[in-house]
Amino acid sequence: MEKSRIDLPIGVTLDRFIKSKEVEYPSAVGAFSQLLRDIALAAKVVNRELNKAGLIDIMGNAGNYNTAGDEQKKLDILANIRFIRALSKGGEVCGIISEENESFIDLENDGNYIVAIDPLDGSSNIDVNVSVGTIFSIYKRITAVNNPLTDADFLQKGRLQIASGYILYGPSSMLVFTTGNGVNGFTYEPSLGEFVLSNSNIQCKQDGNMYSINEGLSNSILDPKAKQYLQFCKDNEYTARYIGSLVADFHRNLLKGGIYLYPATTKYPKGKLRLMFESNALAFVIEQAGGKATNGEMDILDIQPTHIHFTTPLYIGSKNMVSKLIN
Ligand code: P6P
């Protein structure tokens, strides 16, 4: 039976939106709703710290590197702590993987949900006050309750996500997520301390003329399809827009139409972007909004990860633009 879809008015709070979705999914238990609230709470805390980062000593490098070899910023570590603490407290989450942690975290509880998170993506931009983001995926646990978690709980295909989304910390901060029934965007209203529905049922334009790629990589691209498509964009005088923060580039392309490309290169022959912490979450969102996400050979959501820091080439955005690149 078609689920009765409740369309809520712009301006409704995230809490009321989540409550209304519980009504739409009678089988939904409150735990999942509480998990979304926990993510939103951590986002508010990180947003507050980012807004005053220039005034207290939390800018700059932390002096170490994460598993992927990225230099960690102090705010990377701070955001990681905030989200892991928020997700650990509620009891709904039994396991976490983070871009900032080498291996998985087993919270040793009877929670039903697994969370994969990139606590602060694009952090190289923080010190120059450019938008950054948090990216998250939510999966169901595989291992039966009261058993220790295994790699299988975390190495799930993106197609198995039950929810995913991102927080964009920009001129205004937004939470955009899907639970598999469309994509909705909430703008943070600091005076209320609330995320408020601002973009209902977001649909990605099937076509566009904006492309996002690090042009400096042009000569080191390994994928001929990506090289040909890049030339096609230039021959057709498309607009190049590359912020260096995936969440910011993705969000603009989601709302205006466009494509983001990070192909395999001589420096990153398997691709730079992480499947579990960046690509899967955004691929679920873009597909729910009518767009497409691929590694050039297959849909991102169908890739089977072999380790939690698995990387992949990523082409994501307007369906016709991505289809043109791969065909
Ligand atoms: P490059 C940030 O490290 C990130 O993961 C994405 O947010 C961003 O789009 C990309 O890498 C930037 O990579 O090689 O262009 O600096």
pLDDT at res. 3:
43
CA neighbor of 256 nearest in space, from 291, 219, 287, 283: 291
Give the distance (Å) from ligand 1 centre to CA of residue 45: 24
SS3 290: coil
pLDDT at res. 293:
98
Q: Which residues line ligand 1 (CB under 6 A)?
A: 121-122, 124, 214, 244-246, 272-273
Distance separating alpha carbons of residues 9 and 113, to the nearest angstrom: 29
SS3 118: strand
Give the distance (Å) from ligand 1 centre to CA of residue 245: 6
Give the distance (Å) from ligand 1 centre to CA of residue 41: 26
Which atom of ligand 1 lies closest to the CA of 133? 7
Residues sharing a CB contact under 8 Å with residue 315, sequence separation 6 or more, in sequence order: 226, 259, 260, 261, 263, 293, 294, 295, 296, 322, 325, 326
Which atom of ligand 1 lies closest to the CA of 274? 5
Give the distance (Å) from ligand 1 centre to CA of residue 129: 16
Structural domains in the chain, CATH included, are 9-199 (3.30.540.10), 210-326 (3.40.190.80)
Return the structure tokens found at 248. Answer: 């910011």
pLDDT at res. 2:
44
Distance separating alpha carbons of residues 216 and 268, to the nearest angstrom: 14
134 to 20, 143, 212, 302: CA distances (angstroms): 25, 27, 19, 23
Q: Ligand 1 atom 10: the closest Cα is on which residue?
A: 244
What is the DSSP track for 216-258?
GGGGGB--HHHHHHHHHHHHTTPEE---S-HHHHHHHHHHH--
pLDDT at res. 58:
65
Instruction: Please list the active-site residues.
Output: 70, 76, 99-100, 118, 120-121, 278
Q: Ligand 1 atom 14: the closest Cα is on which residue?
A: 214
pLDDT at res. 20:
84
| Ranges of the chain with pLDDT below 70 | 1-6, 24-29, 54-58, 60, 67-69, 71
pLDDT at res. 4:
45
Q: Mean pLDDT, the chain, as a whole number?
A: 92
- To test the ligand 1 pocket, which listed residue (75, 249, 262) has its Cβ within 8 A of the most ligand atoms? 262
Q: Within a 10 A sphere around the Cβ of 211, how many other Cβ atoms?
A: 26
pLDDT at res. 25:
61
pLDDT at res. 72:
74
Which one-letter DSSP state was computed for residue 184? E
User: pLDDT of 228-264, one tens digit each?
Assistant: 999 999 999 999 999 999 999 999 999 999 999 999 9
pLDDT at res. 31:
84
